Amino acid sequence: MNALTPLATAPPPGESTGNIWDWDFAVEIFPEILTAFIQVTLLVTVVGTAIAAVLGLVIAILIRVLPAPLAFIVRWAANFVRMTPIVVQLLVLYYGFTWMDPLLIGFIVFGVHYATYMSEVYRAGIDSVPKGQWEATKALSMSAGRTWRRVIIPQALRSTIPSLGNYAISMFKDTPFLFVISVAEMVSVAQDLGGLTFRYTEAITIAGLIFLAASYPTALLINRLEKRLAYAN
């Protein structure tokens, strides 16, 4: 964390700054909070979403194609991860794999945790594919791999993309949990800056506005995509 200039030093005990909002202080700390957002918060969200999207699809397909005993094991493991708090999962890996970089732990935990949610979205999308599509692929003697790649997955994705996007936004808002494994994401950096100066209003407000500026346009885009896909159907 960069050293703050004298402007941002804490007031003497018992002395108030007299201002609810200090624009000079807000401008001073904004670059550091924004850097934490880009280097940690946004990075974990992007990487975690990529892992979750791919792994979630794999889980959904395995549950459908594996023999019943193996499918049960995969389903049980997914349910176990989904029902365990993400904070607990972060701490287990953090203390159980001390050699692992905390940021890497964040990638893994967020990716795997949200993969279990996305697998349910994929499962619903796969189940929504008309039975006639499956029968047509058999009539054409299509291989299982080609059936999934060319017919089932493309149709399933049309109805699942909006929900997958919503989970990506949820992951984005859960990134402050990284503070439990000492990862300096945006909110913890803002809190540290507030603690050094006893001015939390500016720091926490800036972090909240960055969250809003990133998530709200994404939510609007997902809603528009959902309507477009609904019309396409």
Q: Does 38 fall in a domain?
A: yes
Paired tokens of 120: 């349910």
pLDDT, residue 213, reads: 93
pLDDT digits (tens, 9 = 90+) for 173-195: 999 999 999 999 999 999 999 88
pTM confidence score: 0.86
On whether residue 17 sits in a domain, the answer given is no
- Interatomic CA distance for residues 48 and 50, integer angstroms: 5
Please name the residues in contact with 128: beta carbons below 8 A apart, sequence gap of 6 or more: 155, 156, 159
**CATH number of the domain that 173 lies in?**
1.10.3720.10
Distance CA 26, CA 15 (A): 20
Q: What is the pLDDT of residue 233?
A: 57
Sorting pLDDT into bands at 50, 70 and 90, what band is 132? Answer: confident
Q: Assess if residue 11 is contained within a domain.
A: no
pLDDT in tens, 1-53: 444 544 444 454 434 444 688 889 999 999 999 999 999 999 999 999 999 99
User: Does a structural domain hold residue 14?
Assistant: no
pLDDT (average), residues 132-141 = 84
- The total number of structural domains that make up the chain: 1
Write the pLDDT tens digit of every residue in 55-92: 999 999 999 999 999 999 999 999 999 999 999 999 99
Q: Which domain, by its residues, includes 134? A: 28-232
* CA torsion angle 35 41 42 45 (round to 10): 170
Mean pLDDT of the chain: 87
